[in-house]
Amino acid sequence: MNNIIIYIETEGGKIADVSLELLTKGRSLAKELSCKLEALLIGNKVENLVDELFLYGAQKVYIAQDARLENYLTLPYSSITIDLFKKEKPQIALFGATSVGRDLAPRVSSALVSGLTADCTSLEIGDHKETKSGKEYKNLLYQIRPAFGGNIIATIINPDCRPQMATVREGVMKKEPLASAVKGSIANIDVTKIVKDEDFIVEIIERHIEERKIDIKGSPVIIAGGFGVGSKENFNLLFELASVLGAEVGASRAAVDAGYAEPARQIGQTGVTVRPKLYIAVGISGQIQHTAGMDQSAMIISINNDPNAPIHQIADYAIVGDLNEIIPRMIKSYKLNSK
């Protein structure tokens, strides 16, 4: 009772990275709260995934398996989740901020009349004192997220309602297995008792899920362009540098909105979060909605002709100047020096 439950998302028989990241974070939260870390796994023939959950620290795994649960469907998946949360009363429930998690979590929070915070970038445990009533709360989950287009960082709490629910984007938290798996337990959920026929009124008639083609997250070096790159043609310079360095090209939301790069390349609050060895930000002003997705990079080089661009403040090396001069010089220097 009153433990932490992580919703485990699967795709193509594999556990989503974001769920393992949440388990990793959940371990430290559970330790701080002296409670257990648990996982909810829904699907068809998914029991073989349990060992991986134990390796990431889940002490108990609730499994709901049924042939009809092969693919995610809002109604049966939410029925199972709501039923479990009502019985187990977790104090915290975390979901990936994916198209599944962002479909499921609000439905569950509405049914339980509990609060939900979307797209958190940080989760901490802390206390709270209500200024009006003077009521004190211990060990609340601080749900920290950018808001207002990323111009402010808000800390959200749910003082009175449980579970405290949050979604977190893939890549925001670190993913770290334990040295050896915990000896966890398994609890099978009797699906037929919970899920009703009317939960299947929405049918999937077609499904095409592709393997991710552009792998920005896995690239150790990223050259990212912003609106300041100026045109789709200028973006070709970034691709040229990327191919020379063996890097991947990323983009800010402004650059994607302007059509300079495809949405799969978007880095930031509403795109992917990356932490490469080297991040070269070209023509990016450095709005928080972008930097939230890259400020954990080991090294940052900013290239911007505006000396006052905020990106320069988080960069290790800030180059003020014209990208059309700078990038060809980088390519030339690399070709000369790398041999």
Identify residues 269-308 at the interface with other proteins (CB under 8 A): 269-270, 277-278, 286-288, 291, 298-299, 301
Closest CA to 285 of 229, 223, 221, 232: 229
Asked whether position 319 contacts other proteins by CB under 8 A, the answer is yes
326 contacts other proteins (rule: CB under 8 A):
yes
CB nearer other proteins, residue 60 or residue 265: 265
Sites for other proteins among residues 14-73 (CB under 8 A): none
CB closer to other proteins, 24 vs 143: 143
Scanning 27-35, 60-68, 186-194, 327-335 for contacts with other proteins by CB under 8 A, the matching segment is 327-335
Confirm or reject binding of residue 214 to other proteins (CB under 8 A): no
What is the SS3 assignment for 168? strand
What 8-state DSSP symbol labels residue 320? E
Q: Which is nearer to other proteins, 236 or 317 (CB)?
A: 317
Q: Which residue has the tokens 């890259």?
A: 294
Q: Within positions 94 to 123, which residues make up the interface with other proteins, using CB under 8 A?
A: 98-99, 102-103, 105-107, 109-111, 113-119
With binding defined as CB under 8 A, does residue 157 bind other proteins?
Answer: yes
Residue 18, Cβ density class (10 Å: 0-12 exposed, 13-18 middle, ≥19 buried): buried
For residue 125, state whether it binds other proteins (rule: CB under 8 A).
Answer: no
Q: Which of 100, 9, 139, 159 minimizes the C-alpha distance to 108? A: 100
In whole angstroms, give the CA distance from residue 11 to residue 22. 16
Quick check: 258 binds other proteins (CB under 8 A)? no
How far from chain centre, in Å, is Cα 50?
Answer: 22
Name the residue nearer to other proteins (CB basis): 4 or 319. Answer: 319
Q: What are phi and psi for residue 16, nearest 5 degrees?
A: -65, 140
